[in-house]
Amino acid sequence: MKLNLEQLNQLQQQLDQHILDNHQLTRIETTQRRILALLVELAESANETRCFKFWSLKSSSDLSVIEEELSDVLHFIISLNLNLENPLTSIELTVTTQELTPLFLQTFHQALRLSEELNQENIAQVLNSFFNLVLSIGSSPQALLQAYVEKNEINHQRQEQQY
């Protein structure tokens, strides 16, 4: 399954520039913070699925809530992709079927690798694991891209309101 990233790159570039201008920062000086934000948003997504909460009988949040959290994750992956001299413009996804907990752990592991080396290969691996998560929760890349666009608009509004 091939996924085109050009629209995401364009939307994220505009949002990043808005944020960087508002806060008088550069892309490079925020790299480590964006990696940490990616990990935090990924943890918030895991929390909404409750996939690891073996001690609880409460069910996961609604799919729309999980998709919104995952759209935050995607914002940071794409933002980090834009750090590259040649950002990825598409990716060929390798779809695998796994339980959520191992997929979250795999995605965390690959996201942490970005702090060691931010390159196309590592971004591609994070994106692949991420979209396998999306499929495993019962969503689709198209639904997640729509959630991303909606959240991107909210994020622009927040910047206008000094969020």
pLDDT of residue 57: 96
Confidence (pLDDT) at 160: 84
Q: Is 1 helix (H, G, I), strand (E, B) or coil?
A: coil
Residue 162: how many other CB atoms lie within 10 Å: 6
Model pLDDT for residues 8-23, shown as the tens digit of each residue: 999 999 999 999 999 9
Rounded distance between C-alpha atoms, residue 161 and residue 63, angstroms = 28
Q: What is the pLDDT of residues 79-127, one digit of tens each?
A: 999 999 999 999 999 998 789 999 999 999 999 999 999 999 999 999 9
Q: What is the pLDDT of residue 159?
A: 86
Please, are residues 89 and 5 in contact by the beta-carbon 8 Å criterion? yes
pLDDT tens sequence across 120-163: 999 999 999 999 999 999 999 999 999 999 998 998 898 888 77
Q: And the tokens for 43? A: 């943890």
Pick among 1.10.1040.10, 3.40.50.1100, 1.10.4010.10, 3.30.420.10: CATH of 2-160 = 1.10.4010.10
Question: Strand, helix or coil at 19?
Answer: helix
Integer angstrom CA distances of residue 124 from 23, 35, 41, 46, 90: 29, 15, 18, 21, 9
pLDDT digits (tens, 9 = 90+) for 16-66: 999 999 999 999 999 999 999 999 999 999 999 999 999 999 999 999 999
Cβ atoms of residues 93 and 131 within 8 Å:
yes
Q: CA-CA distance, 62 to 118, in Å (whole number)?
A: 33
Write out 45-98 in H/E/C secondary structure.
HHHHHCCCCCCCCCCCCCHHHHHHHHHHHHHHHHHHHCCCCCCCCEEECCCCCC
Ramachandran class of 92: left when φ > 0, alpha when ψ lies in -120 to 50, beta otherwise: beta
Q: Look up the pTM and report it.
A: 0.94
Question: What is the pLDDT, as a whole number, of residue 162?
Answer: 76
Q: Provide the residue ranges of all domains of the chain, joining segments of one domain with +.
A: 2-160
| Type of residue found at 66 | I
- H or E element that contains 3: strand 2-4
